[in-house]
Amino acid sequence: MTESIKHARRPTNLSLDSALLEEARALGVNMSRSAEAGIAEAVRRSKQQRWLQANQAALDSSNEYVALNGLPLYRHRQF
């Protein structure tokens, strides 16, 4: 986790591919931390997808404005 806030951890049962599980054990992979990282990434992507869906109308409106009128304050750009 990249957050500075630590949350309580709780034991959980997961069903995993047995070959993958054996390979991870042989390599010394911390499965709890790896599973947590994968779930955190899935949550991040899901939140991103929901945000994009919820804000799609505003994004479309903004893109349409720029397509019709150009970038606001473009004349003040120095690059």
Name the pLDDT band for 1 (thresholds 50, 70, 90): very low
Q: pTM higher than 0.85, yes or no?
A: no
In a domain, 10, yes or no: no
22-52 residue pLDDT tens: 999 999 999 999 999 999 999 999 999 999 9
What does the mean pLDDT of the chain come to?
92
Q: Are 49 and 41 contacting, i.e. CB atoms less than 8 angstroms apart?
A: no
Which residue segment(s) compose the domain that 72 sits in? 18-76
Residue from 33, 8, 11 nearest 24 by CA: 33
Helix intervals (H) in 1-79: 18-27, 31-54, 56-69
Is 34 inside a domain boundary?
yes
Count structural domains, the chain: 1
40 is a domain residue: yes
